[in-house]
Amino acid sequence: MGDARAHPGGAPVQRCVQLLTPDGDRIDDPEFAYDGDQEAIAQLFRQMVLIRRIDTEGFALQRHGELGLWPPLLGQEAAQVGSTAALGPDDVVYPTYREAGVAWLMGVDLADLIGQWRCSTLGSWDMRRHRFGPLSIVIGAHPLHATGYALGLKLREEEGVVLTHFGDGASSQGDVMEALEFGALDQVPVVFFCQNNQYAISLPATRQSAVPIVQRASGFGMPGVQVDGNDVLAVQAVTAAAIDRARAGGGPTLIEALTYRMGPHTTSDDPTRYRDDAEVESWRARDPIDRVRKLLQRLGTPSTFFADVDAEAETLGAHVREVCSALPEPDLAAWFDHVYAEQTDELRAQRGEYVAWRSQYGGVA
């Protein structure tokens, strides 16, 4: 039944939905089912491999000094791919800052995505076109935005459900609590998707809540489902059911996807300071990509398919590097022009001070 954890408050073990084991075995769940065929599963595998390659390149580019920061998603591919696969054509995503995979799946241009971490853009994609909101650096702020957008959809009687991703750390923020409260009270079409990757930077999830995060749902009057976040089939099935419920007027659902951040919180973090190798290795054995590979091999998927996906990933990796190298050097002085519609005297003075300061160093950045 997945990887539910014991909690210090003595709460009963939460049922965790799982449809695919780490060994690649399909299992049944009494409430949720994945009905995709072998071709659909192969596409999920392909997307996870490609997303992992984007993440690998982003990490390497930061280490080479090309990006200011990168928030790795290694190990969370199933949570991102599975939840995105459940979306309909009118549905919208409000992400946190780690959803590079979701951004790519929603069609966000890599130049815009990579450029935001290079500080050469401000996240300038068209939200309405891609149905993907801006990356939220402010922890826990965006579920409120998602709930407000969903309320607007309901009041206008428009089609669409809002899916909002956030982490276990964000679940402790007051803004997230308010979003859950307003979403349940007004029965808006929003799905709250918590990627519990076990750490809010260095603080383990068991130090954030005495009960599983999903159990908070009942306190707000909405259903909650805990799912194996490294099982892409289960994630898609659970998210699809929550989206269907919201679309039918049933209101929000809180999903807790149990997964693991294999890398650092961001490239400025050193995870060896707060977790041991044995824990990391135990989660490595539950890798979301490996289990789908094992399933596909048992289903008779030819080896040429896996070779083609690997080759596509190599090509994508090279493309990410090319996109990054073509980005302009950041002009931080220009950012002062985007704070308000009309420049204030205070900002104008601050901009002048900054330009004078950087002129001492050749005007770079």
CA–CA dist 335, 328 (Å, integer)? 14
CA distance to 39, 115, 124, per residue, from 111 (Å): 30, 5, 10
List the 162-167 sheet strands across, edge first: 16-17, 224-228, 253-258, 190-196, 162-167, 92-94
Alpha-carbon distance of 83 to 194, in angstroms, equals 11
- Cβ distance 37 to 48 under 8 Å? no
The neighbour count for residue 303, using CB atoms within 10 Å, is 8
Q: Which of 261, 286, 291, 351 is catalytic?
A: 261
Q: Which of 274, 284, 298, 348 is catalytic?
A: 274
Catalytic (active site) residue 274: yes
Catalytic entry in 52, 142, 216, 265:
265
Question: Alpha carbon 293 to chain centroid distance?
Answer: 22
Burial 112-132 (b: 16+ CB within 10 A, else e): bbbbbbbbbbebebebeebbb
Alpha-carbon Rg for the chain, nearest whole angstrom, is 21
| 90 secondary structure, DSSP code | T
For 218-264, give the DSSP string. Answer: HHHTS-EEEEETT-HHHHHHHHHHHHHHHHTT---EEEEEE----S-
Residue 53 is among the residues annotated as catalytic for this protein: no
Q: Is 354 a catalytic residue?
A: no
Phi-psi label, residue 177: left if phi above 0, alpha if psi -120 to 50, beta otherwise: alpha
Q: Could you please report the per-residue DSSP string of 139-174?
A: TTTHHHHHHHHHHHHHHTT----EEEEEETTGGGSH
Instruction: List the catalytic residues.
Output: 261, 265, 274
